[in-house]
Amino acid sequence: MTKRVLILMSDTGGGHRAAAEAIREALYIQHNKAVDVELVDVFRDYSPPPWKYMPEFYPWWINRSKNSWGAGYNLSNTPRRAYILSNTMYPTIERGLKRMFREHPADVVVSVHSVITQPTMRALTHFERRPPFVVVVTDLVSTHHFWYDRRCERCLVPTQSAYERGLESGLEKIQLRTTGLPVHPRFVRSLKNKDEARQQLGWDPELPAVVLVGGGEGMGPIYKTAREINARHLKCQLIIIAGHNKQLKANLEAAHWNQPTIVYPFVKDMPSLMAAADILVTKAGPATITEAAIAGLPMILYDAIPGQETGNVEYVVDNNIGVFAPTPREVGQALQSWLSEGPAALKARSQRAHDLARPNAVFDIADEIWDYAHFGKITTNYRKLWKGIRQSTLDLL
């Protein structure tokens, strides 16, 4: 009998959908036609305004006022405040959540988004019988207390720090497991050895390769950082990914370069580029850090979203697989220092990144979800509670 898996996410940042798609692919690889996986964008498809516009509002806020976002993140990040805010939000989306569960019956429900986790669990308790609820935390280290609901059956976290935050939120050890962050199986399968990857890409087989990336939209100080690197006349090859930013790509292509330099638009084959590279210059996104570790790629981090990505920087620095360089000048200095140390030091950093990686995390997560899909429906106390409230009201009358 086919098991139905419902994964709840929203396109507020690329990481939630990427995690959901990775888990879906792992379930299909392992169980083929025995599983049916649905992905639902809870905000866009089942929430009224203003929540409906969160996928558009989130990047607008981050790009215009990261500090205010960080302040709000830190201010709300206690178990009590997260609980109060989730319960305040719930009445506005309750009807949509209940409709979602009626339209998408499932044997197990999975949340890969922090803000929808607690409201979803509350909605499920309003049914007489509900499917098991599994949370897959997709923030790496400094996880928000929104992620943690003591009523869930299982909470799968990427790091020890995220595990300890779950205990702080009131979850029991038996509910938690550290699995790593889910990365799409295609990424791991597509990784090649460095020589093969460079030959396919047409890169110099000998020069150290530095990849500079600003995300899919080519945001951030990419041009200034690239020019700072260029001014140092380093013995390397520079690969710049401009993403969907056509103006950035045109400006980069029009510039004069002191080292071999290749400018790419948005790319879909990041496994090949990471396999061919020696150093990655990027922002501190959890998915990028996780993929880079799997590829054995040390990182120079030039930016981080306050609050949710602050811990990612500490994770990279504390594990000695990268540094934080928040200005173009500091990026140039860090890169110059690393290259001056020679290939042996780069190889050591690469090995530390490999050692930190969990390339099979997505399959461990898929196994957990598959097990809970066979768990069976869970009887809630909703009707019993409602009868008690009703009787108490009648007694008062």
As averages over each run of 10 residues, the pLDDT of the chain (397 residues) reads: 95 85 96 95 93 82 82 91 93 95 97 95 93 96 94 96 95 97 93 93 95 76 95 96 91 95 92 96 94 96 91 95 96 97 93 95 97 94 53 44
Q: How confident is the model at residue 180, as a pLDDT? A: 96
At the top level of CATH, the class of 192-356 is alpha beta
Read off the tokens for 137. 């935390």
Residue carrying the six token digits 């099979």? 360
Q: Tell me if 204 sits within 8 A of 236, measured CB to CB.
A: no
Q: Give the C-alpha separation, 262 to 273, whole Å.
A: 12
What does 148-209 look like in DSSP terms, one character per residue?
--TT-SEEEESSHHHHHHHHHTT--GGGEEE------HHHHHH---HHHHHHHHT--SSS-E
Q: How confident is the model at residue 170, as a pLDDT? A: 94
Q: How confident is the model at residue 56, as a pLDDT? A: 81
Q: Which helix (H) or strand (E) holds 311?
A: helix 310-318
| Residue 370: partners with Cβ closer than 8 Å, 6 or more residues away | 3, 27, 30, 31, 35
The alpha carbon of 381 is separated from its chain's Cα centroid by a whole number of angstroms, namely 34
3-state SS assignment for residue 56: helix
Q: Taking the alpha carbons of 193, 303, 14, 153 in that order, is the dihedral positive or negative?
A: positive
Q: Taking the alpha carbons of 343, 348, 352, 354 in that order, is the dihedral positive or negative?
A: positive
Residue carrying the six token digits 């066979």? 374
Phi/psi at 369 (5° precision): -65, -40
Read off the tokens for 341. 């140390």
Read off the tokens for 390. 């009703």
Q: How confident is the model at residue 393, as a pLDDT? A: 42
Q: How confident is the model at residue 216, as a pLDDT? A: 60
Question: What's the one-letter identity of residue 71?
Answer: A
Phi/psi at 294 (5° precision): -60, -35
Half-sphere exposure of 312 (CA within 13 A, CB side): 28
Q: How confident is the model at residue 46, as a pLDDT? A: 94
Q: Which helix (H) or strand (E) holds 336?
A: helix 328-340
3-state SS assignment for residue 1: coil
Q: Tell me if 8 sits within 8 A of 97, measured CB to CB.
A: no
Using a 10 angstrom Cβ sphere, with 0-12 exposed, 13-18 middle and 19 or more buried, the burial of residue 20 is buried
Q: Tell me if 74 sits within 8 A of 305, measured CB to CB.
A: no
Q: Give the C-alpha separation, 295 to 143, whole Å.
A: 24
Helices within 206-319 (DSSP H only): 222-231, 246-254, 270-276, 286-294, 310-318
Question: What's the one-letter identity of residue 173?
Answer: K
Q: Tell me if 160 sits within 8 A of 173, measured CB to CB.
A: no
Strands 279-283 and 378-379: unpaired
Q: Taking the alpha carbons of 325, 327, 331, 337 in that order, is the dihedral positive or negative?
A: negative
Q: 3-183+359-396 falls under which CATH superfamily?
A: Glycogen Phosphorylase B; (3.40.50.2000)
Q: Give the C-alpha separation, 110 to 368, whole Å.
A: 11
CATH 3.40.50.2000 in the chain is located at 3-183+359-396, 192-356
Q: How confident is the model at residue 395, as a pLDDT? A: 47
Q: Give the C-alpha separation, 163 to 246, whole Å.
A: 41
First-to-last C-alpha distance (Å) of the chain:
51
Q: Tell me if 274 sits within 8 A of 249, measured CB to CB.
A: no
Is the bond leading into 265 cis (omega within 30 degrees of zero)? no
